[in-house]
Amino acid sequence: MKRILSGIQPTGSINLGTYLGSVKNFVKLQDKMPDYEFFIFIADLHAITIHKDKQFLRKKIKELAALYVACGLDPEKVNLFIQSEVPAHSQMQYILQCNAYMGELERMTQFKDKAKKQEKGVTVGLFSYPTLMAADILIYDPDYVPVGKDQKQHLELTRDIANRVNNKYNDIFTVPEPLIAEIGAKIQSLTDPTMKMSKSDPNDKSRIDMLDPENIIKKRIKSAMTDSIGTIKYDPENRPGISNLLTIYSVITNMSFKDIEKKYEGIGYKDFKEDLGEIVYQELKPIQERFNNLINSEELDDILDKGRDRANQVASIKVNKLMDRVGLGRKRR
C-alpha cells in the first residue's frame, strides 16, 4: 500500500497558518486518497531542540493530538502517533547523520533563522534537526509528504539523503515528493505580512490560535495589517496584507480570488474584515467544541496507542533492514 506521512511540532498552540497550510490539507487527502495509508505524528523530539518546560511540553503534545482529531483526522483512516514513542526514528536519524554533511545542514534557512535567536547557544539537536525529519519520513517509505512551503528545503535535503543512501545500500528508500497546497501553503503574520504566521512569534497579535475565543479571533482579523489602497484585490507582491487575508478567505470558503474580489467590489476593508472574522470563527467553533470533548477522554489515548503500535511495526522493520545493509550488529534476517 502506498503511504502519506506528515508531522507537526508541539511547540505552541496550532495556529491558523499551520491549520490552513497543513492539517486542513491532511483531512482533504485522507478522504481523497483512500488507497494510501496515512501516518500523521506529533513531532515531540523536534520540539526539544529548543528547551521546553516539561509540563508545557506534555500539555502541548496532548493538545496537538486532540486538535488533529478535532480538525477532522479520522483515526480509522490515519495512524496518529507520538514520534518519541517510536524509537526507530532516533535510531534511523543516527544512521542518516552519518550520510549527511555539515555543509548541507549549515545551508538550511530555518536553522540559520532559529540559530540567530538563541541567546544561550545553539544545540547540536537544532543543527541536526533536518536529519531527524529525514528519518521521520524515510522510515515509512511515503510517496508523498504534505507540508507548507517553509518545509520545502527540508524535503529537498531528505530526497538528497535518500538518493545517497540508496546508492550506497541498494535502493532501500522510496524517494518522497513534497505535496504543497497551491493556496494556503504560506499564511503570513497578521502584523507583518512579509513574515510567516508562526507559533514562535513573540507577538500574539501576529496570529490566530486554534483555541482562541470569538472576540480574539475577530479582533486579530480586524487589526490585521493591510495598506492604504482600500480595495479587495489579490496582489501578494505589492499588497501582501490584503492578499494574506484573501488567502485565508479562499482556503476556508473554497472560493477563488476572482470570485471573492467580485463579491467585494466597491466594499472596503472594514466590512471585508468583519465577514472574514465571522468566517474564521465559524470554521474554528466546531473544532473547538470537538477539542473540548476529546482533550480529557480515554478515546484519545486509545487512538494514540493504536497509532503507536502500527508505526512501531513498520518502523522497526525498516530500521533493522537498514542496519543489516550497513553491516551493524549481527545479521537479523
Instruction: Return the residue of 38, 79, 92, 148 that touches ligand TYM, per CB under 6 A.
Output: 148
114 is catalytic: yes
Q: Which is nearer to ligand TYM, 43 or 211 (CB)?
A: 43
Neighbours of 282 (CB within 10 A): 12
Rounded to the nearest 10 degrees, the angle between the axes of helix 152-169 and helix 298-326 is 40
- The piece of 18-26, 117-125, 210-218, 267-275 that touches ligand TYM (CB under 6 A) is 18-26
Question: Which DSSP letter does residue 15 get?
Answer: B
Residue 185 touching ligand TYM (CB under 6 A):
yes
Cβ contacts of 194 within 8 Å, gap of 6 or more: 188, 240
Q: Which of 24, 196, 218, 273 is catalytic?
A: 196
Can you tell me which of 60, 62, 196, 220 binds ligand TYM, judged by CB under 6 A?
196
263 classed as catalytic? no
- Could you say whether residue 244 binds ligand TYM (CB under 6 A)? no
Q: Using CB under 6 A, which residues numbered 41 to 100 contact ligand TYM?
A: 43, 46
Q: 221 with 190: CB under 8 angstroms?
A: yes
Check 114, 149, 152, 222 and give the catalytic one.
114
When the beta carbons of 143 and 150 are compared against ligand TYM, the nearer one is 150
CB closer to ligand TYM out of 33 and 231: 33
User: Looking at beta carbons, which residue is closest to ligand TYM?
Assistant: 21
Residues 6+ apart with CB under 8 A from 154: 108, 110, 130, 133, 134
What distance in Å separates the CA atoms of residue 93 and residue 99, rounded to the nearest whole number?
A: 10
Considering only 4-12, 251-259, 271-279, 324-332, which stretch makes contact with ligand TYM by CB under 6 A?
A: 4-12
Give the whole-angstrom CA distance, residue 60 versus residue 10: 5
Name which position in 70, 96, 187, 251 contacts ligand TYM (CB under 6 A).
187
Smallest gap from Cβ 265 to ligand TYM, in A, equals 28
Nearest Cα to Cα of residue 165 among 249, 100, 83, 259: 100
Is residue 192 involved in binding ligand TYM (CB under 6 A)? no
- Least distance from C-beta 196 to ligand TYM, angstroms? 4
To the query of whether residue 285 is one of the catalytic residues in this protein, the response is: no
For ligand TYM, which stretch binds (CB under 6 A), given 3-11, 26-34, 115-123, 239-247?
A: 3-11
How far apart CA 265 and CA 322 sit, in angstroms, is 59
Q: Which of 34, 11, 27, 14 is nearest to 207 (CA)?
A: 14
The secondary structure of 144-209 as a DSSP string is EEE--GGGHHHHHHHHHHHHHHHHHHTS-S--PEEE--SSSSSPBPSS-TTSB--TT-S-GGG--B
User: Annotated catalytic sites, by residue?
Assistant: 114, 196, 199
Please give the residue ranges that form the binding site for ligand TYM (CB under 6 A). 6-9, 17-18, 21-22, 43, 46, 133, 136-137, 145, 147-148, 150-151, 185-187, 196-197
